[in-house]
Structure 1
Amino acid sequence: MKALLIRDLKLAFRAGGGFGLGLAFFLIVVVMTAFAIGPNPELLGRVAPGILWLGALLACLLSLDRVLALDFEDGSLDLLATAPLPLEAVVSVKALAHWITTGLPLVLAAPVLGVLLSLPAQGFFWITIALLIGTPALSVIGTFGAAITVGIKRGGLLLSLLVLPLYVPTLIFGAEVARRGAEGMALDTPLLMVSGITCGVLALMPFASAAVLRVNLR
């Protein structure tokens, strides 16, 4: 598993679809939003948690089609399917590699970009916590979508249509954690909800992804 993780990390950086692309897209979304809303610190501060979460979600979505596509094209996925390593572990490692190269940089960049959106001082900690808890679910759900569309030519649009509805609960409760934290409100309920969603996704979705891959690789 360690060797597979290192291989996927190298491929992500070498292919240019990981760290740099997602982070650049996140920056563009935040900057363009700030320009569109205008120099209104109060309004920017109110919408900052939602904008940061939406930007992170779209940045994660941007590189999902490369999670399994490269391995399918060169035949590596067929070899992994017949390897001693369970297919559930394979998709879990690929989701982890996607999170490390895409989700984790977004978590680290969010507080910095929050300055551009006049995010209240107490919100910097909670936007980081919310993204740190929620983004692993985005990567795992995205891997499930990639497993469904693997082998489909130009399946990026279909992948987006399949995955976006599944992202909605994480987006709602993650943004609510950041918003309530920025406003100094009680956030027990949304924090527990986003944590529960992530735990449930991490526990169940790899099995669904592996089952879909077995069907597609027959």
Structure 2
Amino acid sequence: MKETIIDAGDPIQTRGSHKAIERHLESLRREFSGQSELLLRHAELIVLIRRAYDLRTSYAQFRDLWFKEGDFLREKLNIRWLVSATDTFADHDPDMAIRAVAMLTSSLAITIMMSESERYLTHANEAIIDQARVEYLQHNLVPLFEGLSGFTVGTDDTLRNMVWRMEPFMKVEPVGPILREVWERFQNEDTVFARFRALHVRDRTSWWS
């Protein structure tokens, strides 16, 4: 299955779902055109689980797939489907440690999605970094709300410390490596992490690998 490549025309990303499961699965096949059949099977299992179709068997197959093919799935799936996987683990796994790490991953991704969506709505992507404010943050506390203060862009150790705290969670199989993969991709995609990384100047507080 892993070596079989789907040929269903030009790929089109699905949005929402058809009421008829057959139509939904057909749409998924088109989305994964040009990719491994195994990736499609992973997506199909998620759909079956969300529709509670033979739930016990479907989830067992999904879980087994991640334990056996986790390296391949992490490498080939995009963030959307990696997060769909962690959503599924968070909903259904009997191991609360797995559910907790899965929820951590999904929460991180949803927070980024919300932040970047607001950035799109407000045209914030067109904004220019105010270097005077970057400098001001080096020496002054900027209150946000409820005791939170602005991130000291360029030198802050908050994200480095957060990564240190996440390390034990990243070792929880099979979801910990998904957390690591998603986190690392966020350092390279156009996210606040990558944008602040570009402004960081203190090596000992860097948070990326």
Greater per-residue helix proportion: 1
TM-score, with normalisation over the residues of structure 1? 0.29
Question: Per chain length, whose mean CA-contact separation is higher, i.e. which structure has more relative contact order (CA < 8 Å, sep 6+)?
Answer: 1
TM-score, with normalisation over the residues of structure 2? 0.30
Larger Rg: 2
